[in-house]
Structure 1
C-alpha cells in the first residue's frame, strides 16, 4: 500500500498542530517548516476543514486550529478523508477500470477487507499518539 503525498503531508501538518492544539497554524509557516509547497498545503488544509478535522480563520490571528482534541482524532479517519478518491487498485475506482475478470475475481473482496483492516488498525491510534514534540517559542 502506498499513501499519496497529499495524505503524507496532511498527516505531517496535523502532527505539528497536535503539538500545540490551542495554537493557530498558518499554511505558510507549515510550508516553511516542512519545506513543502504552500499552495499544495492550502489544498490539503481545505480538505481537512471540509472533513471537520480543522477550522480555518482568516485575518491577523488567523490560521488553522484542530476542531477536536488530538486524542479524539483517529488516524484511520484522517487517512480515509485524505485518500478520498484514490483507489487501492484500478477496479475499486468509480468506473471499475478495464478489468476483464470482474465478476469472477476472488481477489477484489480480499483487497477490500485488507484495506478496511488497514484503516481499522490506524483507528486504534489517535493524533495524540503521533504528535510531534512541542517547539520552543522563537
Structure 2
C-alpha cells in the first residue's frame, strides 16, 4: 500500500509547521522539500478546510497550525486524505461486481489489514513525528 501524494504532502506541511511554530508560505515549504508548489497549495487549502491550519493573507502572511502538534492525530489526517472506503473494489457493496463475492475471504483479510494500519496510525500524533523539532527545523532549513 502506498499513501497518495496528497496524504504525504499533508503530513509534510503539518510537520514543517509543527517544527517551526511560525507562519510559513506554501512557496517556502515547497522549496524546502523540493516538491511541486501547485500540488502543495491544493493540499494546504484542504488542510485549511479541515481546520488543521489557518492562513493569513498579505505581506508577512502564510499558514500556521490551529492546534498544538500533540492534538493532531496522524490516523485522522490520513483518513481525511485517503479514499479508504474502496480499498479494493469488492469492499464497496454498491459497485462491486465480483463474481466470487461472499465466497471469498479477501475482503475480510484486507479489511482487517486496513483496520490494523489505521489503528496503528491512530496511536501517533504530530508531536510524535517531531521528537526533535529543533533538529527537524534545522534540516528543513538546510543548516
Q: Same fold (TM over 0.5)?
A: yes
Measured against the shorter chain, the TM-score band is 0.7 to 0.9
CA distance in 2, matches of 1:84, 1:48: 16
Task: State the aligned residue count.
Answer: 136
Please give the residue correspondences for 1:4-23 in structure 2 after superposition, counting only pairs within 5 Å.
Answer: 4-21=4-21, 23=22
Q: Which residue does 2:91 correspond to in 1?
A: 92
Please give the residue correspondences for 1:57-96 in structure 2 after superposition, counting only pairs within 5 Å.
Answer: 57-84=56-83, 87-93=86-92, 96=95
Normalised by the length of structure 2, the TM-score is 0.82
Normalised by the length of structure 1, the TM-score is 0.84
Q: Which runs of 4+ in 1 moved over 6 A?
A: none
Superposed CA RMSD in Å reads 2.3
Q: Structure 1 residue 38 and structure 2 residue 21: aligned?
A: no
Gaps of 5+ in 2: none
Deviations along 1:63-109, one digit per CA (max 9) or x if unpaired, are 11111100111111111111146732223358534422223332213
CA distance in 1, matches of 2:110, 2:90: 11
Q: Which residue does 1:113 correspond to in 2?
A: 112
Bigger mean CA deviation after superposition, 69-78 or 101-110: 101-110
SS in 2 for 1:87: coil
Gaps of 5+ in 1: none
CA distance in 1, matches of 2:86, 2:12: 22
